[in-house]
Structures are given as structure tokens and as C-alpha cells.
Amino acid sequence: QLQASGGGLVQAGGSMRLSCTASGITENTFSGYSLGWFRQAPGKQRELVAGMSDSGMTHYPEDSVKGRFTISRDNSKNTVYLQMNSLKPEDTAVYYCNTDLGRGYYHVVVGQVGDWGQGTQVTVSS
């Protein structure tokens, strides 16, 4: 089970760090997962904004977040983080994390991931 937290209301230009902790699995299992942070804005499809393979490779498919968002993980805590800087109103969305269930990072990219947990709302005011 994945639980995202750390969202809230922030002014444009501000920063926020999201956390997502996986429960019910061991550290060894978690360390073998590729991870992704996704977001869904009202009226839009869910999109991958940052991913990290089990080996630590990072991937930011959305040009709009490159240089502003950073994904990281702490396997000892079964937790993945998303540091978001220079936030913009267009970053407003519900943010979710998910995993590839050990099947390979490609599955994160195409959205073939585990069950969706509760996301966390990020609202950026102008």
C-alpha cells in the first residue's frame, strides 16, 4: 500500500517535498522496485512526472518539470520523495506515487503499475 503525503497550498515560486511510503513489503522488495511520481490535474489524464529505476536512474518525461523536480528514494524507509522547486500554478494537481511491482521501469513509463493509493493535493497559487 502506497501513501503519499506532503501536499498543500503554496505560492508560485515556492517549494514543496512530497513523500510516499510503501507499507506491507520488505525493504528488500522495495529496493527492487522502480518508482514513479504521477499527477492528475482536473479534467486531464494522469501523467508521469518523475521516475526512478531500482538502480537509481532518474527520468523526467515532462519538459515542464525538468530542472525543477527531483525524485529520490530511501530504501531503508520504503519511501520515495519528490522535491518540487519553483512551483507554478500549472503544477496544481493530485500527486500519486506508484511502482512497477518489480517488472521493470518500462512499466512505470506506460503506467502499468500497482494499485493506486491515496494521492496528495498540491495547489500552487499565482
How many helices (H) and strands (E) are present in the chain, helices listed first? 2, 10
- Separation CA 105–CA 56 (nearest Å): 11
C-beta neighbour count of 25 within 10 angstroms:
16
Mean pLDDT to the nearest integer, 3-31: 96
Cα angle, residue 11 at apex, residues 42 and 95 outer, rounded to 5°: 40
Q: Cell numbers at residue 121, please?
A: 493535493
pLDDT tens-digit map of 48-102: 999 999 999 999 999 999 999 999 999 999 999 999 999 999 999 999 999 999 8
